[in-house]
Amino acid sequence: MSRVLDRGLFILGPELEALEREFSQAFDIPHAAGVGSGTDALTLALEASGAITPGEEHEVITSALSAAFTPLAICRAGAVPRFVDVDHSTLQISASLITQCIGGKTRAIIPVHLYGHAGDILQIIRQARNIA
């Protein structure tokens, strides 16, 4: 951190390149890319998936309880956010309601994990497999 502060290279630069290289090695993946924000990460993930075709009004399911940045990322990728209510006991996206929202235009699910709790990710993955 001190090298970054000393150099004043807060965007790109050798420290980011080293982080990307070390991250990809740690997870045994061919590439890693640092981005400026979580919104950028979500947008790029949707775009890289190839599931979203801008102009086709494809939908991405997400939690109704989230910051504005989640639907913003969905819109930036060219899709329409489809909000699902939360489970009242956990305040996480309701896995049981996701099934009711999956339709012909659904292309992805972005769960939002809040307050130190995760949604029922195994159930969400099972439901994501039902997306055409």
pLDDT tens for residues 106-122? 999 999 988 888 888 99
Is 9's pLDDT higher than 80?
no
Question: Per-residue confidence at 102, pLDDT binned at 50, 70, 90?
Answer: very high
Mean pLDDT of the 71-100 span: 93
pLDDT for position 103: 92
pLDDT for position 130: 82
What is d(CA 130, CA 125) in angstroms, rounded to the nearest whole number? 9
What is d(CA 112, CA 87) in angstroms, rounded to the nearest whole number? 12
Instruction: Give the fold, CATH level 3, of 37-128.
Output: Aspartate Aminotransferase; domain 2 (3.40.640)
pLDDT for position 114: 87
Mean pLDDT of the 4-12 span: 81
Supply the DSSP string of 2-57, one letter for each residue. HHHHHHT--SSSHHHHHHHHHHHHHTT-S-----S-HHHHHHHHHHHHT---TTS-
Question: pLDDT of 82-91, one tens digit each?
Answer: 999 999 888 9
* Residues carrying CATH 3.40.640.10, the chain: 37-128
Tell which wins on pLDDT, 81 or 13: 81
pLDDT for position 132: 66
Question: pLDDT of 15-54, one tens digit each?
Answer: 889 999 999 999 999 999 999 899 999 999 999 999 998 8
